[in-house]
């Protein structure tokens, strides 16, 4: 105590300078807590605090791990603040007598570490709203520390946002008859599955009893409705109806998704059930592998347990998916590490395809400019598996997908369908390896598909000139085309002008890459007359949309055209009159 008394005799400026110089070399990662700010700062929220001494060898060994923990926790569990208390400066029963300790004892009579019951270093404790919850006694490794932090956060994580009360829908299990005056009012009550039809349409008449059965099945769950386009043409036009019947799922917010699947009752029921119950399904990390085995494609949102805003944002963005692919969510930070998500992201969307739980097809990490529209675009761009069989049920969803994928079609006869599907699946895996899991090239998604050449022979002949494909019994002879269905063009020759084959993976991949980059000669699925008709039709549709969108501007342009024609005709007639023509008196 004589030494301490001697220190008290020294000028305070000298003591402060000594303390400053001595502590500049002490590493502090996270918030530096002192007796003055401890109570104030820790009074709100979670605080995970390390009590340490710079003279403790275990503390020095643990320092890199703590530093890494501070960096990662800022992104994985930002609701938890990490802080340190230097017990060499702020007391502690085990502190060695040192210049720092003596100076600290002079400046601060409060022994913070002893007050908190610290008897060894490093000691870590979890606090919430100023209350000491638990001392950490596990291994000083990052996974164990993260698990400890997450356990406390999850225990008091905010409950998921309550679903708003949904007004009763489809109370009687009957088809709603919509008109111009009732359409918006019914949509305000909730989503609708709408059939736009014409009374004279044969397919519409055939669908009518199935539609009534669907309405009965969806009683209390989803409004099933219909619009007679003969009586309400303007309403059908406003919903871009160009053929009958047109089936559209419309959300309460007005987002529309055309239904292009089969029209049998079971197919419609499966779609309506999935669409009406679309949403996130929380999962445990150990469940992920099983889910990937059961789903061709799934989306996983990994996020902080405290961040419910991103759940709502992604939920809105995923509306056009209508429950396919399925969306799952987890707040386990270990998944961010598993999928190598940048540490700057507090959340990430992961697309897993083709039963591969290790190599994501794509990852959308958090960015400052990640808008709802960008999330929606990403979700729509990765919804297809790498390999699939094109059937009546899957055709529209693949060939007319919004992202306009390139589809490699193998026309296969029934006798070798199993072998061909195995070969196409193998090609799909190699393609994903070639594209680092994304399955994309030159910004285009690529899907490898088999198609029954017997059932679809007439269509294949008219679209791609494929004949007698159903008679082929060897894989080497299977006819293959690369299709760009949006443009109605296809490729049946590779980069060296040879027939594309399933048996030659390198030449197939080279042809796909050349087609995607516009370096491969294509053929048209339409003849010249059909292409001209489609071109003119597109121009007329564009003109019609312009007139509807800008009626006054269109009227002005039309008026100016009439004026120009009138003046042109007037000048033409004037030019036909001789310059020396003049009237003369007539005798009669």
pLDDT at site 344: 67
pLDDT at residue 500, as a whole number: 92
| Contact criterion met (CB below 8 Å) for 95 and 87 | yes
- Enumerate the β-bridge partners of residue 132: 127
Euclidean distance between CA atoms 38 and 471, whole angstroms = 82
**Which residues are known catalytic residues?**
201, 204
- What pTM was estimated for this model as a whole? 0.60
Report the alpha-carbon distance of residue 117 to residue 346 in Å, rounded: 34
Burial 60-74 (b: 16+ CB within 10 A, else e): eebbeebeebbebbb
Q: What is the DSSP string of 290-302?
A: HHHHH-SEEEEEE
Predicted local distance difference test score (pLDDT) of residue 152: 82
**Tokens matching residue 284:** 């445990």
Tokens 């059937």 found at: 391
Give the strands of the sheet with 297-303, arranged side by side. Answer: 280-282, 326-330, 297-303, 347-353, 362-365
Res 331: pLDDT = 81
Q: What is the pLDDT of residue 583?
A: 55
Question: How far is residue 76 from each of residues 157, 264, 344, 387, 562, measured CA to CA in Å?
Answer: 14, 46, 9, 34, 67
What is the rounded CA–CA span in Å between residue 350 and residue 302? Answer: 8
- pLDDT, position 198: 92
- Which residue carries 């643990």 as its tokens? 62
Per residue of the chain (588 residues), what is the pLDDT tens digit? 444 444 455 454 444 444 444 444 445 567 888 888 898 888 888 999 999 988 898 999 999 999 999 988 887 778 889 999 988 887 654 444 444 444 444 445 567 888 888 888 999 999 998 899 899 988 999 988 988 888 887 766 555 555 545 567 888 889 999 999 899 888 888 889 999 999 999 999 999 999 999 999 999 889 999 999 999 999 998 888 888 999 998 887 777 888 877 888 998 888 888 887 767 788 888 888 999 998 989 999 988 776 777 888 888 888 878 778 888 988 887 787 788 877 667 788 999 998 888 888 888 887 655 688 888 888 888 888 999 999 887 888 888 887 889 999 999 998 899 999 999 999 998 998 898 888 888 888 999 999 999 999 999 999 999 988 878 888 888 999 999 998 899 999 999 999 999 888 999 999 999 999 999 999 998 877 777 877 777 777 777 777 777 888 888 888 898 888 888 887 877 766 565 555 555 555
β-partners of residue 197 are: 228
pLDDT of residue 404: 87
What span, in angstroms and rounded, lies between the C-alpha atoms of 507 and 518? Answer: 16
Q: What residue ranges in 65-197 does DSSP mark as E strands?
A: 80-86, 123-128, 131-135, 176-177, 192-197
* Residue 119: count of CB within 10 angstroms of its CB: 12
pLDDT score of 262:
80
């Amino acid at each position: 105590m004589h030494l301490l008394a001697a220190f008290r005799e020294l000028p305070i400026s000298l003591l402060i300078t000594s303390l400053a110089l001595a502590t500049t070399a002490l590493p502090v990662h996270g918030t530096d807590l002192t007796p003055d700010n401890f109570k104030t700062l820790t009074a709100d929220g979670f605080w995970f605090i390390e009590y340490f001494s710079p003279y403790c060898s275990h503390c020095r060994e643990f320092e890199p791990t703590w530093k890494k923990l501070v960096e990662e926790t800022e992104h994985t569990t930002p609701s938890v603040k990490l802080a340190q208390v230097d017990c060499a400066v702020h007391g502690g029963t085990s502190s060695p007598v040192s210049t720092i300790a003596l100076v600290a004892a002079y400046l601060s009579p409060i022994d913070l570490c002893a007050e908190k019951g610290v008897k060894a270093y490093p000691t870590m404790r979890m606090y919430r709203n100023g209350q000491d919850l638990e001392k950490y006694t596990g291994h000083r490794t990052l996974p164990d520390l993260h698990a400890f932090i997450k356990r406390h956060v999850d225990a008091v994580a905010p409950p998921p946002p309550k679903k708003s009360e949904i007004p009763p829908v489809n109370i009687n299990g009957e088809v709603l008859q919509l008109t111009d005056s009732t359409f918006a009012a019914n949509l305000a009550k909730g989503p609708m599955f709408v059939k736009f039809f014409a009374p004279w349409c044969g397919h519409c008449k055939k669908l009518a009893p199935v539609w009534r059965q669907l309405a009965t099945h969806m009683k209390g769950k989803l409004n099933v409705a219909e619009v007679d386009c003969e009586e309400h043409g303007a309403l059908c036009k406003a919903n871009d109806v160009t053929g009958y019947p047109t089936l559209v799922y419309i959300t309460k917010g007005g987002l529309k998704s055309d239904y292009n699947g089969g029209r049998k009752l079971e197919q419609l029921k499966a779609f309506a059930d999935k669409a009406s119950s679309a949403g996130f399904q929380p999962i445990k990390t150990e469940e992920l592998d099983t889910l990937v085995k059961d789903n061709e494609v799934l989306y996983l949102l990994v996020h902080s347990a405290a961040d419910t805003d991103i759940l709502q944002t992604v939920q809105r963005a995923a509306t056009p998916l209508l429950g396919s692919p399925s969306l799952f969510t987890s707040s386990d930070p270990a998944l961010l590490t598993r999928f190598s998500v940048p540490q700057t992201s507090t959340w990430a969307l992961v697309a897993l395809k083709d039963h591969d739980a290790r190599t994501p097809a794509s990852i959308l990490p958090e960015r400052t400019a990640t808008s709802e529209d960008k999330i929606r675009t990403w979700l729509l761009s990765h919804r297809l598996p790498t390999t699939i069989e094109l059937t009546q049920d899957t055709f529209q969803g693949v060939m007319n997908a919004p992202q306009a994928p390139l589809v490699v079609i193998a026309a296969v006869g029934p006798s070798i369908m199993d072998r061909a599907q195995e070969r196409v699946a193998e090609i799909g895996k190699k393609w994903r390896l070639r594209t680092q899991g994304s399955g994309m090239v030159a910004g285009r998604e690529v899907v490898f598909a088999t198609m029954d050449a017997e059932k679809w022979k007439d269509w294949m002949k008219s679209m791609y000139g494929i004949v007698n494909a159903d008679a082929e019994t060897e894989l080497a002879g299977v006819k293959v085309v690369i299709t760009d269905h949006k443009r109605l063009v296809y490729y049946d020759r590779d980069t060296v002008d040879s027939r594309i084959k399933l048996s030659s993976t390198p030449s197939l991949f080279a042809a796909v890459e050349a087609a995607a980059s516009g370096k491969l000669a294509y053929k048209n699925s339409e003849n010249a007359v059909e292409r001209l008709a489609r071109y003119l039709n597109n121009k007329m549709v564009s003109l019609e949309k312009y007139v509807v969108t800008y009626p006054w501007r269109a009227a002005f342009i039309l008026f100016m055209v009439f004026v120009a024609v009138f003046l042109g005709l007037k000048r033409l007639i004037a030019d036909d009159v001789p310059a020396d023509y003049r009237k003369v008196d007539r005798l009669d």
